[in-house]
Each structure stands twice: as structure tokens, then as C-alpha cells.
A and B are shown apart, each in its own frame.
Chain A
Amino acid sequence: MHPAFSVIFLTTLIGVGQGLFLALYTGESYAVVELLPAQDQSFYVWGSVIAVGFLIAGLISSIFHLGHPERAWRSAARWRTSWLSREVIVLPTVIGAVAVYGGVHALGWDLSVIGIKTQLRGDLTLLIGLGGVVATFLLFLCTSMIYACIKFLQEWATPLTLINYTLLGVASGFTFATAYATYQAPHLVNFYGWWAIAITATALVTRSASLYRNANLRRISSLSTAIGVRDKRIKQRSMGFMGGSFNTREYFHGASQLLFRSIKWIFMVMVFLIPISLLVIGMKNDSSSLLMSAFVVQYLGLIAERWFFFAQANHPQNLYYQTVG
């Protein structure tokens, strides 16, 4: 498939936003049961603001994918059948939930809804945050199922797509939270840092698993099934036109083989190895710039990872467009 940068930025940016929100909520939950020191409201407020910023940036990026953005409101209509439509509903829900979560923290509302006794404050933010967490995971489900539900795009049609989107999003969010904590909550740096490393390492395993799986795929469609001729020795002599068309542009990545092959190793290093090393060194030296660079490198690596995710997918329609003529 031809990688669309609007979609690459959409999926990576909202991944960071979702992961950051999960990190904030994890920190708060630990503080409630006194496993971590409690933080100022401002930690949650600014964290939520940044998370909403990432999510909205992703939403804006997605608009550039549309031919008719002015009709985008229509896309909530078919949530019964379309994962894309479901994502269109869940993404604003997550943005709303995170905004309300941050807003309640900002207002300092000390309201006990179900009567959880904490030494900090009421459980209102915990409940709102819980709803946000559910919506966040639903958003990971919707985003990844957009790709995983197309069964003939065999590279995508696997539960690993869901697992990788979730883990990579959460990992980048926790890496950002580590860098963010150096400014707002120095006590949480190691907590977030080690979680970021653990999730990144898990994502390394699952992403490698999907690379291994995709390298060993057995193609279900062939030219024989495409044109219904039993003989295996089929060559296309003409695709029916000499110029380009939507079919020759949308479904081929168009990059050189060298770039296509090297990008896999580039993102393996940039998403996993460098960030993990920078996180370890940054935590040891208490360096916020190293931790922030861990996030920046990981995010750039994720752009490469998402580019490869699209470029690697081999659409069966490509069987019909192999020979210009």
C-alpha cells in the first residue's frame, strides 16, 4: 500500500496521546493505594493538556486524508459495520474524557462518588479516568481493526496488528511521560521510565513476531485465481494502459527496494534500541534532555514503523497491475 502521511501522523500522534493519558491515570491509581507519592493537581492538568494536544494534532492530521473534509461529520453514520466510523466516534470521546479528567483536576473538585476513601481527594477523577481508560483501549481497538479487518491484506489481518498498535502507542506515551515527569514530578521518573522500557521491550517482541509472520506469509491469491486460469504459468503482457492510474498509485509504496528494506532496520533501532538505552542512561544521570530525546527518537522511529506497516502490505489488486502496456 502507498503510505499516507496523514494516516501515519494520525495513528502515531493519537498513540502518544492515549499512552500519555494511560500513564497519568496509572500514576494516580498507584498514588491512591499509596504505592507512589501523590502529585500536585498541576501534574495531571498539564499532562492532560499535552495528551489532548497530541490527540487533536492526530485528528487534524487525519483531515488531510479526506477528499471532502467538509463532509467528515457524515462518517459517524455507519458505526454498526465500519471500524473507521467507530474510530470517528471514539476519538472525540477520548479527547473529551481526557479533557474532563484534566478539567476536574484543574478545578480541584473533591467529590466522592462511590466513597473510596483516599488521603488525597475524592474518587471523581478516578471514575472519570476509568471511563477514559476504557475509551482509550477502545480507540486502540478501532484504529487497529480498521487495518486488521481487511482479510485479504494478509500482513494486516492478524491480532498482532491490534497488539502492536496498542503496545507501541502506550510505549511512546510512557516514554513521553518519563520526560514530562522530570519537569513536574521527579519522583515518578523511574516509575514511568521502567514501565516505558518494559512496554517497549514487549512491543519489540510482538513487532518482531509480526515481522517474522509477514516474512513467511503464504499468499492466498495468485494470478491464477485473479483471472481464473488454472495454468500457473501466467504473465501479464498489458495492464490496459501506458500511463498511471489510481490503481498504480494507491496500492504500491513506490519507494526504492533499498529504502524499503533498510527502513525496517531503521525503525527497529529507533523505536526500540535507542529509546531503551536513552531511558536507562537518562534515568541514571537524571537528565531530562536525554529522556526527551528518547521520546523524540522513538516518535520518529514510529513514523518509520508506520510507513513500513503500510508499505509492506501487499494488496491483491496489485496482481492486476504488473506490466505497463
Chain B
Amino acid sequence: MTQLALVIDLNVCVGCHACVTSCKEWNTSGPAGAMSDDNPYGQDPTGTFFNRVQTYEVGEYPQTETVHFPKSCLHCEDPPCVPVCPTGASYKREDDGIVLVDYDKCIGCKYCSWACPYGARELDEHQKVMKKCTLCVDRIYDESLPESERKPACVLACPTSARLFGDVHDPESEVSEAIRDEAGFQLMPEWGTHPANHYLPRRKAKIRIHQDELERVDNPLKKEGELPQLDDNSPTLDDVTSW
């Protein structure tokens, strides 16, 4: 069975919010209707978003580290938001594992948002239905797009390629390989939700270089002592050539 998901590399995310804005742009223009905003340029702006980038500081000054942390629906393999829905509007697709909301069936009771430990669901204050990341389901299967663009908008927008997209159930896929090789982890594993989205940890790439690796031990010139030096009276190259 396929389980589409994102793998987000915290090591290279620079916190530029490009994924946030491209997500909003794509999904607010989609056939499902706008993701409504109120007072976008006013005093108390608010709006519906599928994706946010947060920033955390780890450690104690001066040994601190900044972690930029994008957060959207994790498309859990055992999503707690789905069984609580009284109408069946919230569902997980059998064929690709995407968790979606049927906006025509949602009664706006907010119970699914209570049942999501990650706060991944937001009620649209104007349409009064629950909204969440769709993994750009209206984009990834669109055959009118070139194949390279059949990816979620956030993945295409990321300037540092911090976001990977693929099938985490296929052991050969790029995302599975990244999870395997780069110690991918899940958020709040304690609740047994088995998020499909994984994160790659901050990791420092260090190589240790010894002095003998900088200086060639068996350098023949070294063995023969100092290089021969020209004395002041010797002819230079300019003296003996006629160019």
C-alpha cells in the first residue's frame, strides 16, 4: 500500500517561509475555494493556513542552535482525527494514505481538531468547515502538469530542498532512503499516531583532518632537503629567452 508523505530536513531548512506562502497561494486558488483571511493588512490579522514554519532555540547561550521547524498535517498512518468524525467527512484514502476532509460533508463541529495532538487542522472561519493540508492532492495527480511538477507546492518552492515528497512505504523511494540513512523521526511518537511525515534531525557534517594529511609524508622534495635557490647573479628566464 502506498503512503505518500513529506520528509522535512531540519538540517537544511532556513526558515524562509517560502513553503508557507506557496502552500497558501496554491490552495487558496484551488477548486475547493479560498482559505479565508481576515484583516490581512489590518491590526489583528488572522487566516487559514495549512503549513507554518516555527522557530526554536535549543541549548543555552552562547551554545545555542536555531531550529526552523515547518509543521503541517502529518498524514498519520493511524490518524486519531478520522474515527472521531461523526459524519465521515474526515477520512484517510486507501490508495495513497492522504488524510482529507470532504468539505461538503463537514458539519464544522471541530471535534477532529480536538482529536489531533499536532494542531494540524484549522476551521475556516468563513466556510465553517475544517481544513488541513491535502498534500496538494489536486496537483500531484494532474497529468496536464509536467511530471517534475507533480509535487506539493511547498516541495517545489523550497529553495534548499529541505522538503522531500514520496512514498514512505516503498523502501526504494527517495524519502524512505532519507529516513533510513539520515535517522528520520516522527513527532510525538508517544500517542501512537504513526505520522507518515518524517523529519530529519539537525546533524553536523564534520571531517577530522590530521596534520599528516595536509603534508605529504613521502614528498620527495622533502627528502632531498631545501629546494635549490637561484643566486642574485644567475640569469632569469627573461634573460635567456627572447620573446
Contacts and interface: CB of A to CB of B under 8 A. Distances in A.
B115 A234 contact: no
A112 B166 CA distance: 68
A69 to B, nearest CB: 7
Contacts of A150: 80, 84, 114-115
A84 B10 CA distance: 38
A78 B88 contact: yes
A244 B58 contact: no
Nearest to B131: A246
Interface string A118-134: 00000000000000000
Interface string B35-49: 000010000111111
Nearest to A76: B86
A228 B201 contact: yes
Interface stretch (B121-129, B133-141, B154-162): B121-129
A284 interface: no
Interface string B61-75: 000001101010000
A231 interface: yes
Contact of A245 (B66, B67, B83, B122): B122
A317 B111 contact: no
Contact of B58 (A71, A72, A229): A229
Interface residues of B, number: 63
B43 to A, nearest CB: 9
B56 interface: yes
A93 to B, nearest CB: 16
A81 B105 CA distance: 17
Given A69-B107, A226-B188, A251 B119 contact: yes
A152 interface: yes
Interface in B90-125: 105-111, 113-119, 121-123, 125
Given A76-B86, A236-B54, A316-B117, A68 B49 contact: no
Given A82-B86, A151-B191, A239-B52, A75 B109 contact: yes
A36 interface: no
A251 B52 CA distance: 17
Nearest to B109: A66
Interface stretch (A17-25, A94-102, A217-225): A217-225
A65 interface: yes
A167 interface: no
B69 A227 contact: yes
Contact of B189 (A225, A235, A238, A244): A225
A83 B84 contact: yes
A250 B124 CA distance: 12
Nearest to A251: B119
A115 interface: no
B143 interface: no
B187 A228 contact: yes
B243 to A, nearest CB: 65
B26 interface: no
Nearest to B39: A243
A223 B56 contact: yes
A231 to B, nearest CB: 5
B88 to A, nearest CB: 5
A315 B114 contact: yes
Interface string A52-91: 0000000000000111110110111110011111001000
Nearest to B20: A240
Contact of B67 (A1, A229, A317, A321): A229
B86 A225 contact: no
Contact of A233 (B58, B69, B129, B186): B58
Interface string B142-179: 00000000000000000000000000000000000000
B29 interface: no
Contact of A153 (B45, B46, B86, B114): B114
B111 A84 contact: yes
Contacts of B58: 229, 231, 233-234
Nearest to A229: B58
B179 to A, nearest CB: 13
Interface of A: 1, 65-69, 71-72, 74-78, 81-85, 88, 146, 149-153, 220-221, 223, 225-229, 231, 233-247, 250-251, 315-318, 320-321, 325
Interface of B: 10, 17, 20, 39, 44-49, 52-60, 66-67, 69, 71, 80, 82-89, 105-111, 113-119, 121-123, 125, 127-129, 185-191, 199, 201-202
Given A152-B191, A238-B54, A240-B55, 11 more contacts: A67-B106, A68-B107, A72-B107, A74-B105, A226-B187, A228-B186, A233-B60, A237-B56, A237-B57, A320-B71, A325-B55
Nearest first, the 5 A-B pairs at minimum CB distance are: A67-B108, A317-B119, A67-B128, A243-B45, A81-B83
25 contacts: A1-B114, A66-B108, A68-B108, A71-B107, A77-B86, A84-B111, A152-B191, A220-B191, A225-B187, A226-B187, A237-B55, A238-B55, A239-B52, A240-B20, A240-B54, A241-B49, A243-B47, A244-B45, A244-B46, A246-B125, A315-B117, A315-B119, A316-B188, A317-B116, A320-B119
